[in-house]
């Protein structure tokens, strides 16, 4: 008789535990789904696509000094990487890799870094074509590919970014004519195409300051008219690592996300117990 009662009580306790367990499971699942929707937009299937894109760019470059060594595919985002600056919501704003002895080619996937404003790759040994996909970067303001070994034509798509201000392609081995679309860019503060192997006819260049001297087939000596129009020299382009990214916001956001993930994991773990 007593035994039966004890058994019944035990059963009831177990039952209550089960109800509690399923409640925990239900709420944790709900919580985690809710949290997933809070995740940043640059995550696809839990992977930051800007990390993948930059790894593609790294893989097509040759890096003898190892300056890209902390560009790691396992990173949550690329914002702590050498030579990268991010916005406060962790999108890549700039790549500043001038003077780094880089060779190899520039991957066309650079056109996927939608928020890029500044690309400084001057004074390296990069070969191959300038990827036309750079024209997809609608926020681009500054592109400096000067003093490399780029070949092929100037992509006409470079005229697409509406806020483009500084375009330096000088001291490469570019050939062909200057695309009219690029010549028509009135918003350019500087267009430097000097010391390449460009040919004519030269369209009327509408940039505020331009330079096409040092192209043997159009301006061999630079004394010809309209080879360079240099109004007060624009200040030289330097990469500032203290960019527009807001460290405080990043850290705060990271802490909140870290805490949420930890809570999520804990609740799931507890629920399965």
Ligand X SMILES: *[C@@H]1O[C@H](CO)[C@@H](O)[C@H](O)[C@H]1NC(C)=O
What is the contact surface with ligand X in residues (CB under 6 A)? 49, 98-99, 108-109, 111-112, 123, 125, 127, 133, 146-147, 149, 171, 173, 175, 180-181, 184, 195, 197, 213-214, 222-223, 225, 227-228, 238-239
CB of 109 to ligand X, least distance (A): 4
CB of 86 to ligand X, least distance (A): 18
CA angle 134, 139, 140 (to 5 degrees): 50
In sequence order, the 6+-apart residues with CB closer than 8 A to the CB of 167 are 143, 158, 182, 185, 188, 190, 191, 192, 207
Which of 5, 221 has the CB closer to ligand X? 221
CB of 217 to ligand X, least distance (A): 7
DSSP string, 33-45: HHHHHHS-TTEET
Which of 10, 220 has the CB closer to ligand X? 220
Buried b (16+ CB within 10 A) or exposed e, 173-186: ebeebbbebbbebe
Which of 185, 250 has the CB closer to ligand X? 185
Which of 134, 250 has the CB closer to ligand X? 134
CB of 182 to ligand X, least distance (A): 9
End-to-end alpha carbon distance in the chain:
33
- CA dist 23 and 31 (Å) reads 12
């Amino acid at each position: 008789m007593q035994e039966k009662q004890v058994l019944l009580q035990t059963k009831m306790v177990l039952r209550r535990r089960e109800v509690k367990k399923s409640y925990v499971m239900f709420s944790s699942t709900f919580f985690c789904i809710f949290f997933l929707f809070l995740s940043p937009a640059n995550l696809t299937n839990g992977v930051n696509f800007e990390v993948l894109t930059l790894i593609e760019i790294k893989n097509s470059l040759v890096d003898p000094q190892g300056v890209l060594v902390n560009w790691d595919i396992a990173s949550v985002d690329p914002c702590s990487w050498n030579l990268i600056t991010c916005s406060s919501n962790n999108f890549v704003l700039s790549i500043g890799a001038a003077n780094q002895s880089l060779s190899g080619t520039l991957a066309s996937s650079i056109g996927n870094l939608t928020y890029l404003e500044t690309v400084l790759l001057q004074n390296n040994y990069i070969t191959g074509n300038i990827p036309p996909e750079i024209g997809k970067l609608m926020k681009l303001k500054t592109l400096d590919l000067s003093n490399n070994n780029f070949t092929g034509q100037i992509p006409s798509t470079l005229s697409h970014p509406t806020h483009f201000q500084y375009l330096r392609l000088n001291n490469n081995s570019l050939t062909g004519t200057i695309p009219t679309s690029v010549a028509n860019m009135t918003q350019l503060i500087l267009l430097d195409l000097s010391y390449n192997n460009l040919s004519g006819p030269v369209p009327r260049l509408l940039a505020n300051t331009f330079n096409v001297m040092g192209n043997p087939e159009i301006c061999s000596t630079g004394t010809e008219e309209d080879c360079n129009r240099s109004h007060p020299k624009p200040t030289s382009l330097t990469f500032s690592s203290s960019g527009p990214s807001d460290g405080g916001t990043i850290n705060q956001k990271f802490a909140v996300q870290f805490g949420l993930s930890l809570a999520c994991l804990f609740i799931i773990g507890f629920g399965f117990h």
